Chains A and B, each alone.
Chain A
């Protein structure tokens, strides 16, 4: 009875905490202007099914893809067991589903145990790749400090959660053996059975206490993890889905037109043109801060799990330039957090200059390698281009040589200073 009350209270606190965090995130996303991406919904669901659910863009790196698939499937399926934990916890029962499910229950537990074991293996491999020997992108300066600690925390938490489950099962079985109870299952489950030697010689009360504590550790751990997520890169496990739903469906090579500019130019070219009287002029051309970006940009930033595939493919980054597409996303997210935290920094600082330098923005070749590389369709290039629009259209702050090229385009219709009248000269030469 008491444990039911404690359980319910912990559960309520965990859910309340998570709800509070999600509200905070929603306030962050609400800073953005609308994305306009509510069209073509069936295509959006299909993209989500293929890219997020189906892991469709993980293929190019098979080892990471296989390990990630294990953790992903393991996480989703093993959480089915959370259903039983919730029922047991609230009702004060123990393994409520064992009797009704019969031998199917044993099959399920064997399956979960194998998955759990594989998750532990995958997490250990991931830790090894990150801390010992792995790709450069996992040791990149982008990750110095908190991001790297965050990554290690996540892997350790997952190992602890899975281990708690396996140890609980082992201790519980050993308890049955030690207390000469009639065995509910004739043989131990596959993985926890291998752990039985750890518990030889333990008293029945120690075994019982240990199994109970592992049960609580698993449950409290899940809730703690749930509350850790929104402050971590690991929130991608949830946000990847809506994030992919909001993917850019327009052709990859299309930068969306600014309608206010079209109106202005049409009015210039055609004196009889009547602009839409309801059109609202933009507060600003391009993006100086997160408020100027659109909803999908900010959702991208919160969905980024900092894997660095974008940066490892970026020609600027790979030739030692300061630009790192991953850092563009991390900086955008951190700036939204800064605005949400309020205070002087929220109003005194901006995404441009305080978080992302002009040098980074001008190093981009717009090659789209980062866009292609992202397994969840994050688009760092979109943010870079909007910030360039701010620099050029609001501050006229392009590099001087780019200004020369643009001046030429304006004056003689080519980026170089050749007269337009000579464009056909190649035919005779």
Chain B
């Protein structure tokens, strides 16, 4: 299936506009593993007939890692620039495929003049399902064991635990929970700019511990909702020698696979 993904600039040039902006994020734009998630989201939006666009070359880091590393100046540079672009296009609705972008757009941009209705992709896709605009075919995951790892910035920080699980329920699979899930979900170790630096000295790596916990459920698939969790847990699964046996998939990838997109 070929993708139909216009940019906001292209639409504006044609005098058109989109119902929703798909915020791709840096990992989703450049990291090979995260790009698969980006494409899965785009395919699902296409399949549901959603009128959407991306910013493309006009998108810029939301500033989340800079702010959490303590660089308020760089964060606000990014935020105020992005807000100018978003407001310039009259954007009202945003769907983000990264909980960090989602959180920053939703909770931190309003204070700086950027107020939008912001969804995480799991929320948006679940809404499409409830509205009957999208169906999940199921089948390919039938009988598989799936465990969901809550991303901190979707779950604990923004209180969304159900949308991703509701989507996974549609896959005809066995859904399992880790000992620490939802509010008590254990971090993958990437947040707060950690993914860009070497960890401090310790006795273990956070992502190894979390991957071990996920593997202990006997899962065939570890489902995630964040590109950074995906990178960290994929590495964790490899560390435990389970690559090739256990997949780490974003919810969007799982749904797109089920729909044979």
**Residues on A close to B: CB < 8 A?**
60, 250-258, 261-262, 264-266, 269, 285-286, 313, 315-316, 318-323, 359, 362-369, 372, 385, 387-393, 398-399, 401-402, 404-406, 409-410, 413-416, 418, 420-427, 429
Contacts and interface: CB of A to CB of B under 8 A. Distances in A.
Contacts of B186: 315, 318, 369
Given A369-B187, A390-B70, A421-B57, A321 B24 contact: no
Given A257-B112, A418-B30, A423-B24, A320 B203 contact: yes
A391 B70 contact: yes
A319 B203 contact: yes
Given A319-B209, A359-B200, A414-B26, A368 B152 contact: yes
Nearest to B69: A402
A270 to B, nearest CB: 9
Contacts of B77: 265, 410
Contacts of B3: 427
A413 B108 contact: no
Contacts of B153: 253
Interface stretch (B58-66, B124-132, B137-145, B234-242): B58-66
B74 A410 contact: yes
Contacts of B57: 420-424
B39 A362 contact: no
Contacts of B38: 426
Nearest to B111: A257
28 contacts: A251-B107, A257-B72, A257-B76, A261-B76, A269-B80, A320-B203, A363-B199, A365-B152, A366-B68, A367-B152, A367-B187, A368-B152, A368-B156, A369-B156, A385-B68, A387-B70, A388-B68, A393-B72, A402-B197, A406-B66, A406-B69, A406-B74, A409-B66, A410-B74, A414-B30, A422-B29, A425-B29, A426-B35
A265 B70 contact: no
Contacts of A429: 35
Interface of B: 3, 5, 7, 24, 26, 28-30, 35, 38-39, 42, 54-57, 59-61, 63, 65-74, 76-78, 80-81, 84, 103-104, 106-108, 111-112, 152-153, 156-158, 183-184, 186-187, 189-194, 196-206, 209-210
Contacts of A399: 197-198
B84 A316 contact: no
B36 to A, nearest CB: 9
